[in-house]
Amino acid sequence: MTKKQKKMLIRIIIAAVLLIALNFIPVKGILRMILFLIPYLVIGYDILKKAGKGILNRQVFDENFLMAVATIGAIAIAIYDRSGNFNEAVAVMLFYQIGELFQSYAVGKSRRNISELMDIRPDYANIEQDGKLERVDPDEVEIGTVIVVQPGEKVPIDGIVIEGTSTLNTSALTGESLPRETKVGDEIISGCINMTGVLKIRTIKEFGESTVSKILELVENSTSRKSRSEDFISKFAKYYTPAVCYGALALAILPPLVRMLAMGAAPQWDMWIYRALTFLVISCPCALVISIPLSFFAGIGGASHEGVLVKGSNYLEAMSQTKYVVFDKTGTLTKGVFEVNGVHHSEMEEEKLLEYAALAESASSHPISRSIQRAYGKEIDRTRVSEIEEISGNGVTAKVDGKLVAAGNDKLMKRLGITPIACHSAGTIIHIAIDGKYMGHILISDVEKPTSKEAIRALKSAGIEKTVMLTGDAKRVADQVAEKLGLDEVYSELLPSDKVAQVERLLAEKPEKAKLAFVGDGINDAPVLGRADIGIAMGAMGSDAAIEAADVVLMDDDPLKIVKAIKISKKCIRIVYQNIIFALTIKAICLILGAIGIANMWVAIFADVGVMVIAVLNAIRALYVKNL
């Protein structure tokens, strides 16, 4: 509990004890009223103060005004009819404040998930000077500076490890508790906690542009974008509150006047004023005004705890209506890392063929060449290689142990007058020839993420009608990946502008109320992310432009998190509609009962505070998303 909440709890306890005790003290008249005013003011002075300020600022109609009028009116009736029944006035204020305390605690609970994420903000960065570590403000660290991160410290700025190995705790960023190993040459993002070894990191971004700053900015701004449901409730309360105030006034005045003027009977002012005050307490829109934003806030908090950052409740609402999910391929459904997947049709041992290819490719920095060298896995002896010639768009030739080795595509084989064996596997084919004789080929392909196939299947189970993949890759490669993962449609050999055109076409053909989500990670995906109804960016390895353009950011690049995000959004929207229907139904019934005199002030307390507590309890269920 916060200091403010503890103070309120003490006031509630004091007022409750005084209220109970006063009912056992046999006093009447003015002394009884004065004694009951003590717990009334203890529990309600701030409500009266806020109501007074609202009247002075010409912002009269709010819940504070309703509570003040209802309770002061109840005291006035008790004085007028000499019943001495001041219990209701104190009880209404007491239970209202209990409801407010409960709501404050619930908001604090949902904020905790986001505040845990906020805890990733680093307080300092270590810079080594004259053999000593000096702590500086992360904002003062320039790009290219070497910083030192010791065990237990947060990584303050994005960079590349230049010395040391360690294990990183990334749970604050990704929601996953599994530690990640890091070594020299690895890129490291800010916000992680260094768990074991000392790391020296060369910064590649300024603090304001680093991952941790971007995340904090996204979360801090998330509550500023309201959903249609929240806008509806805000507008509803704006017109609803004055309407019920005027309705209560009419209920207090018109029936007694009609009774007196038309029927010639006694007006019974006290009875009708009491009904009007009951009507006011029942009508208080707290349950809606509090629980609806709280539901979205809890949904965003629960999602952030799972490593899904939603930039606003409007995107959370839109995500619940998603029917089409469109994917980029490289880095989204696949790892974006080339690996040797096989050595085929070899006239010699596969290991020996891979060795000749790695030696021939040893001077090239091309990703394909590097993947062959990694697959070879041994230190390359450059003294065995001579006469290296790289032929642009074809491949390389080189003398290895005195033998002429050619490694490249179909064009290179054709150029050398060698007939390669056709391969229909998805990926890049590197043909190998030695001394003019074809020896076999190496298959290199981008590897699917281990959860991609499961994610596509889970999306369909979650109600997604169409899954589509857009890629710049060759048709043969794209088709095989799409078939393997179970995608509905695939479009290949696309430029960034072509991807936008495809998304425009899909937006035009989808049902009007259905939403289209695009998932991407690269800088060339930014235009499509901005054009889709919901843009989802892979945040851990995604580009800054993609994260900036997206509406939802997945912090660990796991496609399964898309399913998690959609399920969270659907749960949140279900809770919102449950609260709206429940609160309006109960209030409508109680308002009618109050107007005809069946419901008393105790029923009014339930209709206000009871309904609010139930709605808030329902709202905080949006926090619990672990098992979705």
Domains and CATH numbers, the chain: 3-115+224-297+571-623 (no CATH), 125-216 (2.70.150.10), 313-333+449-550 (3.40.50.1000), 336-448 (3.40.1110.10)
Question: Nearest CA to 307 among 392, 191, 411?
Answer: 191
Given pLDDT bands bounded at 50, 70 and 90, which one contains residue 516? very high
Residue 456 has pLDDT above 90, yes or no: yes
The rounded percent of the chain whose pLDDT value lies above 70 is: 87
How far apart, in whole angstroms, are the C-alpha atoms of residue 555 and residue 14?
A: 47
Question: Nearest CA to 201 among 138, 276, 261?
Answer: 138
CB 49 within 8 A of CB 93: no
How far apart, in whole angstroms, are the C-alpha atoms of residue 519 and residue 552?
A: 9
Give the global pTM: 0.68
Higher pLDDT, 214 or 306: 306
Given pLDDT bands bounded at 50, 70 and 90, which one contains residue 268? confident
Given pLDDT bands bounded at 50, 70 and 90, which one contains residue 467? very high
The total of other beta-carbon atoms located within 10 Å of residue 617's CB is: 12
What value does the mean pLDDT take over residues 68-84?
77
Residue whose tokens read 């936008």? 500
Query: What pLDDT, on a 0 to 100 scale, did the predictor assign at position 338?
Result: 72
Structure tokens at 453: 């196939």
Average pLDDT in the chain = 82
Residue 504 has pLDDT above 80, yes or no: yes
Catalogue the long-range contacts made by 48-56 (C-beta closer than 8 Å, 24 or more residues apart). none
Residue 432 has pLDDT above 80, yes or no: yes
Of these residues, 158, 328, 446, 558, which one is catalytic? 328
Highest mean pLDDT among 236-250, 532-546, 549-563: 549-563
Structure tokens at 89: 């006035």
What value does the mean pLDDT take over residues 378-386?
86
Higher pLDDT, 301 or 112: 301
Q: Is 557 a catalytic residue?
A: no
DSSP-assigned beta bridge partners for residue 169: 193
What value does the mean pLDDT take over residues 546-557?
76
Query: According to the 3-state scheme, what is the secondary structure of 72-98?
Result: HHHHHHHHHCCCCCCHHHHHHHHHHHH
Question: Nearest CA to 63 among 228, 284, 251?
Answer: 284
DSSP structure class, residue 352: H
Given pLDDT bands bounded at 50, 70 and 90, which one contains residue 460? very high
Residue 10 has pLDDT above 60, yes or no: yes
Query: What pLDDT, on a 0 to 100 scale, did the predictor assign at position 114?
Result: 52
Q: Picking from 59-63, 86-90, 93-97, 468-472, which range would have the lowest pLDDT averaged per residue?
A: 59-63
What value does the mean pLDDT take over residues 547-567?
84
Residue 242 has pLDDT above 60, yes or no: yes
Highest mean pLDDT among 145-149, 262-266, 308-312, 468-472: 145-149
* Phi and psi torsions of 541, nearest 5°: -110, 0
Helix 269-283 / helix 560-595 crossing angle, nearest 10 deg: 180
188-198 per-position pLDDT tens digit = 888 788 888 88
Query: What pLDDT, on a 0 to 100 scale, did the predictor assign at position 327?
Result: 92
Query: What pLDDT, on a 0 to 100 scale, did the predictor assign at position 176?
Result: 53
The rounded percent of the chain whose pLDDT value lies above 90 is: 16
How far apart, in whole angstroms, are the C-alpha atoms of residue 136 and residue 127?
A: 7
Given pLDDT bands bounded at 50, 70 and 90, which one contains residue 334? confident
Query: What pLDDT, on a 0 to 100 scale, did the predictor assign at position 333?
Result: 87
102-153 per-position pLDDT tens digit = 777 766 665 555 555 545 667 788 998 877 888 888 888 889 899 999 888 8
Question: Nearest CA to 490 among 511, 520, 469, 507?
Answer: 469
Query: What pLDDT, on a 0 to 100 scale, did the predictor assign at position 214?
Result: 65
Highest mean pLDDT among 62-66, 168-172, 314-318, 425-429: 314-318
What value does the mean pLDDT take over residues 65-84?
77
Given pLDDT bands bounded at 50, 70 and 90, which one contains residue 54? confident
Residue spans of alpha helices (H) in 361-451: 367-376, 410-415
Query: What pLDDT, on a 0 to 100 scale, did the predictor assign at position 349?
Result: 80
The total of other beta-carbon atoms located within 10 Å of residue 416's CB is: 18
Residue 236 has pLDDT above 60, yes or no: yes
Question: Nearest CA to 480 among 410, 427, 423?
Answer: 427
Query: What pLDDT, on a 0 to 100 scale, did the predictor assign at position 444?
Result: 82
Residue 92 has pLDDT above 90, yes or no: no
Given pLDDT bands bounded at 50, 70 and 90, which one contains residue 374? confident
